[in-house]
Structure 1
Amino acid sequence: MTPLTWLIVAGAVVGLGLALIVSQLRAAPPDLGTVLERMQPRAGLGRPAAPAGLLDRIGLPLVTVRGVRIPEQQLALTGRTPSRFMATKVLCALIGLAVPPYLQLFTVLLGVHVSLLLSLGGALVLAGVLWFLPDWSLKGQAEEARTEYLHAISAYLELVAMERAADHGPAESLRRAATVGRSPAFRQFATAMEGAALDRQPPWVGLNTLGQRLGLTALTDLADIMQVSGADGASIYTALRARAHNLRSELLAAEQARAAVESERMVIPGTVLVMLMTLLIAYPAVAEMFSGGGI
């Protein structure tokens, strides 16, 4: 094969890898195996979901590798499987290893010689950086998903309080309130309670399990409040409204802090723009003055 053929093949492999990376870094909807596992949480505890695609089958052996940390809560928040996550990390690392040799081959065809040691070092560094690229992407997606869940929980608390005020029972209030919303979070609440019902458990057990799995303290607090109401028959309307109010206050404070950070980031571009405009306006007069045309 000629060097040009190798160049075309290498470019096709790199392009295919980049396309797979872009397609897999997006948040994907949960597959059927994951949904069935959520409906029976005790049976699926500690057991990886059945592989649903090529990337899942590739990454499944990597899940059990010792020393590899898998962000279970972040993956659960975004609806991605650990096997797909590990396959994406390996694919990113392979792309990092392939790019520098590809660039070196391109420079050789142009007549520019690059040290082999430099190419090898660049490949290792780029592979190490790209290995952590899915972690950084997953972190941002998980934060967005967590915020959406918290907004949904705040609304769910209010709905449950209204159902309790209408003199419905604790279990019935949880189920009726979950049927009001059509967002993915509300569907998760309903699925968790259906799984608890299949295990002959009260619905707040399913919500508590879901809250622990996703790392949502607000959801476990709701489960605890409803458990107290179901066990002692206590009036929890005020407690539910107070928890919803506190959660909204926390979300508002987080939004204000995020807005303050974004405002501070905008100061630098604004300052640079003002300096450039000032320079463009003052330059003709200054240039004319120093050229001897001034007074």
Structure 2
Amino acid sequence: MISPWAVLAGGAAAAGVAVLVAELRPAPPDLGQALDRLHRAPADHRSDGDQRLPWYDRLGESGLRLPGARIPHQQLALINRTPARFMAHKLLFALIGLLLPGYVVAVATLVGSELPVAVPLLAGPLLALLGWLVPDAIVAGEAKEAKTEYLHGIAAYLELVALERAADCGPAEALRRAAAVGRGTVFRRIRDALERAATDRLPPWDGLETLAEELGLTPLQDVADIMRLSGTDGAAVYDTLRARAKGLRGELLAEDLARANTDSERMVAPGTLLTLLMTSLIVFPALYQMLNVT
């Protein structure tokens, strides 16, 4: 007969997993954060809206003051995630890793199996450290994919800006009209940067430069430099924009080819093993008959 305590423990574990999945699921867009991107206040002046943040974001805000906490700001900016949410994930994963061995020992005790008390004492800190590092690996992987998407979008943006300049649009107008064409994340961030620069009465290339520094994207910085040269000196930049877009597409193609070659090399060992297995299956019956002939 199954112990009711074991059933309760299993239900609690399932509820914890469900809550964790619900918290890690991407949240719907926040209108407040969208407005903050256009009207950023100094970091020293916190508004009362911070008090209405979810509990995990408030937990992450307090965790940002921990000594030795390393925040990958550029990677978080690429995936549009706040440092508070990132730190909240680190703290929650570390807490789960710390408590998981004790929970396993408690469940084993309830079902009648004895586990050494040293298990949670030794495995708990190790799993907590592993859980602390898991969000870093997740963010790094997501940021790598997002950076590739951004670079493809910037290559398209370069072509669009060049076409607008060829249509006799001014440098500032060419940047705005080219950004209004796309509907992806890259073009949305560029539009936000241009609108923020217009709100602050700054040239649009200054907004692109700020966005390039925030995201750590050199090609976007190149766009800002090229258009600044066109806006201040009146230089013809059509050929320069097309050449930069061509070079960026070449870099992306080279990375795709390198990734494809790496994947092909990884398939050599499984393919060889499969070939040996098929050969063994084909040869074994005949070899068995030869060895057992009387």
Tell me which amino acid in the other structure corresponds to 1:31: D
Question: Larger deviation: 161-170 or 263-272?
Answer: 263-272
Q: SS of the counterpart of 1:132?
A: helix
Deviations, residues 89-139 of structure 1 (Å, cap 9, x unaligned): 111111112221222233334443222113321122112112111111111
Judge conservation of contact 2:73–2:83 (CA < 8 Å) in 1: yes
Q: CA–CA distance in 2 between the matches of 1:10 and 1:176? A: 59
Whether the 8 Å CA contact 1:28–1:80 is kept in 2: the answer is: no
Equivalent residue number for residue 245 of structure 1 = 246
Please state how far the C-alpha of 1:145 moved relative to its aligned partner.
0.6
Q: Quote the Cα distance in structure 1 between the aligned partners of 2:212 and 2:12.
A: 42
**Residue in 2 aligned with 1:35?**
34
Aligned equivalent of 1:280: 281
Inter-CA distance 83–12: structure 2 relative to 1 (3 Å threshold):
farther
Instruction: Work out the CA distance in 2 between the residues paired with 1:8 and 1:91.
Output: 25
Alignment of 1:4-153 (within 5 A): 4=3, 7-25=6-24, 31-41=30-40, 43-44=41-42, 50=50, 52-153=53-154
Give the AA of the match of 1:85. Answer: F
Offset at residue 13 of structure 1 (A): 4.3
1:125-274 equivalences under 5 Å are 125-274=126-275
Deviations 1:8-59 (A, max 9, x none): 4544444344334444555556533332232135x35688894642321221
Cα contact 1:7–1:105 (8 A) shared by 2: no
Separation in structure 2 between the aligned mates of residue 13 and residue 44 of structure 1, nearest angstrom: 43
Structure 2 unaligned blocks of 5 or more: none
Distance (Å, rounded) in 1 between the aligned partners of 2:61 and 2:179: 34
Contact 1:196–1:202, Cα closer than 8 Å, also in 2: yes
TM-score, with length taken from structure 2? 0.90
RMSD between aligned alpha carbons? 2.4
Contact 1:74–1:138 (CA under 8 A) maintained in structure 2: yes
| TM-score w.r.t. length of structure 1 | 0.89
**Displacement of 1:270:** 1.4
Would you say the 8 A contact 2:6–2:111 is kept in 1? no
Q: Write the distance in 1 (CA, Å) between the matches of 2:110 and 2:276.
A: 44
Alignment-mate amino acid for residue 37 of structure 1: D
- How many pairs align? 290
Distance across 2 between alignment mates of 1:30 and 1:47: 24
User: For residues 137-195 of structure 1, what are the alpha-carbon distances to aligned partners after superposition, in whole Å with 9 as ceiling and x for unaligned?
Assistant: 11111011111110000000000001111111000000010111111110111111000
Per-residue CA deviations over 1:232-260 (Å, capped at 9, x if unaligned) read 11111111111111110110111111111
- SS of alignment partner, residue 267 of structure 2: helix
When residues 12 and 114 of structure 1 are mapped into structure 2, their CA distance, relative to the original with a 3 A threshold, is same
Moved more, 246-255 or 113-122: 113-122
- Note if contact 2:3-2:111 (Cα within 8 Å) is conserved in structure 1: no
Letter of the aligned partner of 1:32 in structure 2? L
Distance 2:218 2:45 in 1: 24
Distance between the aligned counterparts of 1:64 and 1:119, measured in 2? 28
Cα distance in structure 2, aligned partners of 1:258 and 1:23: 33
Quick check: 2:6–2:110 contact (8 Å CA) kept in 1?
A: no
Q: State whether residues 229 and 236 of structure 1, in contact with CA within 8 Å, keep that contact through their aligned partners in structure 2.
A: yes
Contact 1:59–1:86 under 8 Å retained in 2: yes
Q: Name the CA shift for 1:185/1:217 in 2 (closer, same or farther; >3 Å).
A: same
Equivalent residue for 1:293?
293
DSSP 3-state at the match of 2:68: coil
CA distance in 2, matches of 1:45, 1:147: 30
In structure 1, list runs of 5 or more residues that go unmatched: none
Query: After superposition, what is the alpha-carbon deviation per residue over 1:52-102, rounded to whole angstroms, capped at 9, x for unaligned?
Result: 423212211112222100111111111111111111111111111222122
The percent identity for this pair of structures is 51
